[in-house]
Amino acid sequence: MKEEIRITKKTTKKADDGYKIVSVRMKDELLERLEALSAQTNRSRNELINLLLNAAIDIVRVEEE
């Protein structure tokens, strides 16, 4: 008799963790600064980008032209 391989279904889809994938273009200098901060803090670029954006979005003021 052949052995069975059983695989359970995942309960959530891959992108259902509350996060979305976003692609961003940035200048080499900014990426280098991000990499340096990543090495200095032992945090991933992704984690740093989220932390920095969360902090910055609260202090943005939109000015009318």
Q: Which has the higher per-residue pLDDT, 6 or 43?
A: 43
Confidence of residue 3 (pLDDT cuts 50, 70, 90): confident
Instruction: For residues 6 and 33, give the distance between their C-alpha atoms in angstroms, rounded to a whole number.
Output: 47
Quick: pLDDT tens for 14-35: 667 788 889 999 999 999 999 9
At 15, list the tokens. Answer: 């992108």
Asked if 48 contacts 41 with a C-beta cutoff of 8 angstroms, the reply is: yes
Instruction: For residues 48 and 42, give the distance between their C-alpha atoms in angstroms, rounded to a whole number.
Output: 10
7: left (phi over 0), alpha (psi -120 to 50) or beta: beta
